[in-house]
Amino acid sequence: MNSDLNFNSQFSDYFRSFILEKRGLGCKYKAEAASLRLFDQYICDSGYMGAEISKALFESWTNRRPYEREKTCENRTNILSQFCKFVVRMGGRAYIPPVAQRLRRDISYRPYIFTNEELSRFLECAKHMPGSLERKTVFYMLFSLLICTGLRVGEAMRLRWTDIDWSNNPMMVSVIGAKFDKDRAIPLADSLSQQLKQYREEMSLLFPGCEYLFPSKHNMPYSHNQVYFTFRRILWDAGISYGGRGKGPRIHDFRHTFAVKSLRKMVYNQEDIMAVVPLLSQYLGHKNIYATQHYLQFTADMFPYVTETVENALGGIIPGMEEYDEETH
């Protein structure tokens, strides 16, 4: 048995099963396991003999200590909260603090989730945006790809024609040089594949011999600023309000929207959440499964039924919004 799975309290089996489940979902779960071992030792040292993780035990372990930072206390509380949810899911008894009692930190930006109607309006305006035929053709396909695949804008802009496997069914796009070295191949829906084939024919006339999928007039990818400016212009044309700096919506919110709606679809199709969350994490090229888990929180606000289903399946997988970090997404 791994040394980090050695526990001695009456909750040993729960600790081991919880950690193994997390690792089965793709998490390294090293620091968290160490925190739970300390809690296990605390139970033994205190002489606590109860068969449940009581409120008093929970709070005595999670109360902020005089010498520690607030973030350290938050992490300890979040880890134990997730573990307690797991215990309850497994039929045991454990105190789970109300959401209002959990430590929270404000976040500077909350992702904007587009409605289907907004996405349709956006693409329609992109198709008829002012400017040259070349520019309209490139940006309509670019935004279509971002919306339908959840790619990061930088990943899409670096795509070359050789990154697409045209013969495979479904067609596959290889994302090379991705963030966190998460190179991957993603399948395309039939409708998007057909659109991309038509786009290839058009581009062979507009940009003959160009290696990039989304070139500017100089046969090189557009800059991020050029893409962002075009995005903002189309937002305006589509009547989608822009809240200002730090409020969005932003291009990256296409990715957030794709992830949230993918999770919602999986739940409504009654797919195995234990299996599909790691797959979605891999598809999106996340650094680890925690980044994917944050989309469950965004989904929770819009579709409570989804949250309930996922909680029942995974117990404690939904983290607090204070942990959201744009860099991991």
Determine the residue type at 138: V
Helix spans in the chain (H): 12-24, 30-46, 55-62, 70-89, 116-127, 133-149, 153-157, 190-206, 224-237, 253-268, 273-284, 289-302, 304-314
- Does 124 share its domain with 79? no
Residues 282 and 216 in one domain: no
pLDDT in tens, 62-101: 888 777 788 888 888 989 999 999 999 999 999 998 864 4
Interatomic CA distance for residues 230 and 226, integer angstroms:
6
Residues 206 and 294 grouped into a single domain:
no
Distance from C-alpha of 82 to C-alpha of 35, rounded to nearest angstrom: 12
pLDDT-above-90 percentage for the chain: 38
Q: Are 104 and 57 in contact (CB under 8 A)?
A: no
- Angle between helices 289-302 and 273-284 in degrees, nearest 10: 110
CB atoms inside a 10 Å sphere around CB 115: 12
Q: Is residue 111 part of a domain?
A: no
Closest CA to 146 of 117, 112, 123: 123
- Tell me the sheet residues that pair with 221: 215
- Cα within 13 Å of Cα(173), Cβ side: 28
Cα separation, 158 vs 155, in Å, equals: 5
Which pLDDT score is estimated for 325?
Answer: 43
Question: Which CATH number fits the domain that encloses residue 223?
Answer: 1.10.443.10
Give the C-alpha separation, 9 to 141, whole Å. Answer: 58
pLDDT of residue 252: 87
Are 318 and 296 spatial neighbours (Cβ–Cβ below 8 Å)? yes
Which residues on neighbouring strands pair with residue 165, listed in sequence order? 172
Contacts 24+ apart (CB under 8 A), 307-314: 309/267, 309/273, 310/263, 310/267, 310/273, 311/85, 312/89, 313/272, 313/273, 313/274, 314/25, 314/273, 314/274, 314/277
**pLDDT at residue 236, rounded to an integer:** 93
Residue whose tokens read 């030792």: 41
DSSP letter (8 states) at residue 213 = S
Residue ranges, the chain, pLDDT below 50 = 100-108, 178, 180, 314-328
Q: Indicate if 17 and 62 belong to the same structural domain.
A: yes
Tell me, what's the pLDDT at 57?
93
Looking at the structure, tell me whether residues 230 and 144 fall in a common domain: yes
Q: In what order do the strands lie in the sheet with 164-165?
A: 164-165, 172-175, 184-187
Residue 106 lies in a domain: no
Which pLDDT does position 292 carry in this prediction?
62
- The confidence score (pLDDT) of residue 329 equals 54
Statement to judge: residues 127 and 223 lie in one domain: yes
Q: What is the pLDDT of residue 309?
A: 59
- 93 and 190 in a single domain? The answer is no
Whole-number pLDDT of residue 295 = 59
User: Are residues 68 and 19 both part of a single domain?
Assistant: yes
Nearest by Cα to 100 from 302, 320, 303, 297: 320
Residues 222 and 177 in one domain: yes
pTM of the full predicted structure?
0.61
**Given 58, 75, 101, which residue is the final one in a domain?**
101
The verdict on residue 314 lying in a domain is yes
Domains contained in the chain, number = 3
One domain for residues 163 and 201? yes
- Which is nearest to 259 in space by CA: 277, 235, 245? 277
Give the tokens for residue 73. Answer: 């206390």
Residues 201 and 125 in one domain: yes
Whether 142 is covered by a domain: the verdict is yes
pLDDT for the residue 87: 94
pLDDT for residue 171: 84
Rounded alpha-carbon distances, angstroms, from residue 57 to 9, 12, 120, 301, 312:
13, 16, 52, 31, 24
Q: Is 108 inside any structural domain?
A: no
Domain residues for 188? 116-237
On whether both 127 and 228 belong to a single domain, the answer is yes
Residue 242 lies in a domain: no
For residue 245, being part of any structural domain is answered with no
Please say which residue of 72, 101, 130 terminates a domain: 101
Tokens encoding 215: 């070139």
